[in-house]
Structure 1
Amino acid sequence: MIEPLPDLLIAPIVRAALAEDLGRAGDVTSQACVPADARLRAVFVSRKAGVISGLACARLAIAELDSSADFRPAVEDGTRVGPGQNLAWVDANARALLAAERTGLNLLGRLSGVASLTRAYVEAVEGSGAAIVDTRKTTPGLRALEKYAVRCGGGVNHRFGLDDAILIKDNHIAACGSVGEAVRRAKAAAGHLMKVEVEIDGLGQLEEALKYGPDVVMLDNFSLADLAEAVRRAAGRAMLEASGGVSLETARAIAETGVDVISVGALTHSANVLDIGLDAA
């Protein structure tokens, strides 16, 4: 079971999405066609196979407009489902449910798409010992939700932002003058709980980086042969992360070089929305 995000983190995102959709006058279609006291019972249904994430988003979208709504999940986040499978039942004020429908589906479909793609990558490297991790290439405003969806798919979260880990990239190195000097400065500044990672783009930088004791070395766009050689040379002195242009077709071969983690920006920037509908019951 995936530990759910607190409603406190999700609710502001849901409210902003509802406000964008409701605009200045609210759902004028439902107001015109549906009696104010009408109730509607409906079910969220998967149209395609995938992994579910974001049920709380659908629940909170409805609850924002009808606090007495009855929302009953049929599955948990992280569950693999098939086409036509019921995900959750809801009984609510009809106007509220119709107004919240698209916001709930947008978030549920988006997060389930991320979880589904993540699961595909995790299964591609299964048994290799390598973890699939995400990046900061997330939709602005949705990072906490999308990284939660990665966990629902069996992946592991990289840093959440600029403030929770030090990651020295090529432009930091250019500003410092060398890989070694950048890592030295970072290690001197880091607190005892702060990890230090450095990105390198060739084997020639590996020994210089390791000399200063980084926790993680990112091997950016290395060939398979160079990844394997980096694993041999590092000999466990730092965790090794493969990054750059990873696809479902290449993930397994990358994992088999012996790297510890594989970071995949596509998990969040290129996931297709999982097709989910809301059907009156």
Structure 2
Amino acid sequence: MNDCALSDEALTRLLADDVPAGDLTTETLGIAAAPARTEFRARGAMCACGLEEARRLFELAGATRCLAFAGSGSQVAEGALLLSAEGPAGALHRAWKTAQNLVEWMSGVATAAAAIVDAARPLAVACTRKNVPGTKALSIKAVRAGGAIVHRLGLSETLLVFAEHRLFLDLQPGAVVRRLRALQPEKRAVVEVGDVDEALAWAAAGAEILQLEKFPPPAVAALRERLRAAGFTPLLVATGGVNALNAAAYAVAGADMIATSAPYNAPPADVAVRFERLGNGARHV
């Protein structure tokens, strides 16, 4: 995963958001033209992500040389060198904090996704569209870097019937499924359910996928047994409150897949930034 998720135009907007009218401190001190170098290092083990975007941010800001030493999805150890950039101090200061924030946030999401994926094996872990608005491209890149897949990119992609939809329907479950199949024959009917009886009703109606909202693992196991006894075979997706601590229990209980938004709420990874003054009187901080 070595491509930037954002265009140069979008990355330039991120820089402009942090430096809307110049870097007041750097310019006032008269150090913008001083030759400099900066390094990003991991303060702890992490699944790295966002270094492609960070490298490009430094380049767009005017760095003369920038190297990323880990691609998105790489597992890195504490102290690992992630990125280095050289150029005028003003260029490096302009990009530094935006790039650091991006790498820390995306690596935090990727690391959390990787933890759930590891705990849930062999189940697939799909991350939902419940990311912070405006961050979809970066969020999707981060969860994929952690080994997760995408649940649905948006409302235009899949048929997923919530209770909030059914509130406005005067149709029985079987009629709802028949309507979905008639009007969208290439799509599978996915229905979110809140308890075992509701799940059995929609399975009997022919729903191919049941999204089990906040079912604890014992309820998933009980539903699987009742479905097996009735001869129904819908795909069971555990969602709502699933994380790295309980993902394995859902796999044992009989879920076929996990859908989660937990990685989006993960704390950022910790990235150390070090600056070095190049040339005569070289120093670093």
- TM-score normalised by length of structure 2: 0.87
- 2:14 maps to which of 12, 17, 23: 17
- 1:165 maps to which of 158, 182, 194: 158
Asked if residue 87 in structure 1 is aligned to residue 86 in structure 2, the reply is no
Identity %: 29
Q: Please show how residues 26-105 of structure 1 align to structure 2 within 5 Å.
A: 26-66=22-62, 69-105=64-100
Q: Distance in 2 between matches of 1:39 and 1:176?
A: 67
What is the match of residue 182 of structure 2? 188
- 1:255 maps to which of 232, 239, 251: 251
CA RMSD in angstroms comes to 2.1
Q: Distance in 2 between matches of 1:191 and 1:107?
A: 41
Residue 175 of structure 1 aligns to a residue whose secondary structure is coil
What is the match of residue 282 of structure 2? none
Give the C-alpha shift of residue 161 in structure 1: 1.0
Give the C-alpha shift of residue 182 in structure 1: 3.3
Q: Distance in 2 between matches of 1:39 and 1:22?
A: 20
Give the C-alpha shift of residue 224 in structure 1: 2.2
2:126/2:257 contact within 8 Å kept? yes
**Deviation by residue 1:143-162 (Cα, 9 ceiling, x = unmatched):** 12111111111112110111
Give structure 1 stretches of 5+ with no counterpart. Answer: none
**Deviation by residue 1:199-243 (Cα, 9 ceiling, x = unmatched):** 011222234323454342101122323211333316673321001
Residue 149 of structure 2 aligns to a residue whose secondary structure is coil
Give the C-alpha shift of residue 70 in structure 1: 1.8
2:127/2:151 contact within 8 Å kept? yes
Give structure 2 stretches of 5+ with no counterpart. Answer: 277-285
Name the amino acid aligned to 1:26: G
Q: Distance in 2 between matches of 1:70 and 1:196?
A: 51
Q: Distance in 2 between matches of 1:15 and 1:46?
A: 25
Asked if residue 266 in structure 1 is aligned to residue 265 in structure 2, the reply is no
Q: Structure 1's 18 and 167: CA in aligned 2 closer, same or farther, altered over 3 A?
A: same
Q: Structure 1's 38 and 189: CA in aligned 2 closer, same or farther, altered over 3 A?
A: farther
Q: Structure 1's 220 and 93: CA in aligned 2 closer, same or farther, altered over 3 A?
A: same
Asked if residue 205 in structure 1 is aligned to residue 198 in structure 2, the reply is yes
Give the C-alpha shift of residue 12 in structure 1: 4.2
Residue 16 of structure 1 aligns to a residue whose secondary structure is helix
**Deviation by residue 1:224-277 (Cα, 9 ceiling, x = unmatched):** 232113333166733210011223322211111121111122111x11001112
How many residues end up aligned between the 2 structures? Answer: 272
Give the C-alpha shift of residue 135 in structure 1: 1.1
2:55/2:83 contact within 8 Å kept? no
Q: Structure 1's 10 and 182: CA in aligned 2 closer, same or farther, altered over 3 A?
A: farther
Q: Distance in 2 between matches of 1:236 and 1:279?
A: 59
What is the match of residue 141 of structure 1? 134
- TM-score normalised by length of structure 1: 0.88
